[in-house]
């Protein structure tokens, strides 16, 4: 057999002591002790030719440079990784979607916004992965508890296309005391643009007319955010 034909095999899961296997460790110690690869291995259950399920999970994460890249990948991209078929793609996508829905739904039931970081953390997991700009409003009651965070606009922000009144439609319907605007930069760089600042000024003016406090405008990047209020951008008048 030539070097080109050589295949390096990894130990089968059955050859790993039971107490060291991901599923058994999860059940005994809890999911928090497992690495990302081990958690992914629990989901996809079986490996491929010549590699156990943990090595396959590690290869998948390496290919997409971690969980954020895996979450952004489409089914066709995932299926290009050796050992990942339709069944595994479906299992991974279902697990990621459940996590996304949990993060989107549970915080809105009890979250209270006390700082720009609170608002950013509420939105970052979902919005940081989007490939197109989305603008959302975090609607708040009189105690700054989150009522909802609907998406009100999709597309590049500029003063000629954003209808500022649309941002307040749901706020008026829900009798919100205040709101925070959040939008993402698909590039991953949350540095505000001049259009972001101009739109912020328009939103603030509309909020004053409607007697709804606009507390902040958060720009979300990949794992980072910028608060326009903290930087005095658009909130300087």
Per-residue pLDDT of 35-82, as tens digits, reads: 888 999 999 988 877 788 888 999 998 898 888 788 888 999 999 999
Q: How confident is the model at residue 200, as a pLDDT?
A: 93
Q: What is the pLDDT of residue 12?
A: 65
Find out whether 21 and 13 touch, Cβ atoms under 8 Å: yes
Domain final position from 102, 124, 148: 102
In the chain, which stretches have pLDDT less than 50?
A: 1-9, 107-108
84, 192: one domain: no
User: Which of 44, 69, 102 represents a domain boundary (last residue)?
Assistant: 102
Domain boundary among 51, 81, 102: 102
pLDDT for res 229: 95
Q: Is residue 236 part of a domain?
A: no
pTM: 0.58
CATH code, domain carrying 157: 3.40.140.10
DSSP annotation of 79 reads: T
Residue 203: the pLDDT is 93
Which residue range forms the structural domain that includes residue 210? 111-231
Provide the pLDDT for residue 25: 87
């Amino acid at each position: 057999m030539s070097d080109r034909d050589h295949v390096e095999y990894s130990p089968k899961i059955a050859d790993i002591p039971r107490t060291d296997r991901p599923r058994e460790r999860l059940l005994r110690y809890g999911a928090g002790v497992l690495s990302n690869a081990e958690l992914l291995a629990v989901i996809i259950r079986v490996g491929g030719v010549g590699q156990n399920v943990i090595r396959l999970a590690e290869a998948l994460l390496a290919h997409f440079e971690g969980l954020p890249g895996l979450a952004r990948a489409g089914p066709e991209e995932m299926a290009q990784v050796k050992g990942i078929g339709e069944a595994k793609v479906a299992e991974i996508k279902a697990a990621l979607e459940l996590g996304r829905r949990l993060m989107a739904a549970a915080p809105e039931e009890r979250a209270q916004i006390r700082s720009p970081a609170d608002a950013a953390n509420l939105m970052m997991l979902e919005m940081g992965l989007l490939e197109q700009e989305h603008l959302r409003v975090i609607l708040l009651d009189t105690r700054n508890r989150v009522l909802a965070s609907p998406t009100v606009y999709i597309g590049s922000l500029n003063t000629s296309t954003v209808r500022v009144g649309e941002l307040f439609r749901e706020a008026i319907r829900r009798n919100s005391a205040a709101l925070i605007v959040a939008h993402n930069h698909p590039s991953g760089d949350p540095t505000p643009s001049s259009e972001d600042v101009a739109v912020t000024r328009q939103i603030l003016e509309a909020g004053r007319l409607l007697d709804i406090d606009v507390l902040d405008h958060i720009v979300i990047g990949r794992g980072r955010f910028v608060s326009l209020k903290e930087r005095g951008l658009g909130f300087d008048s």
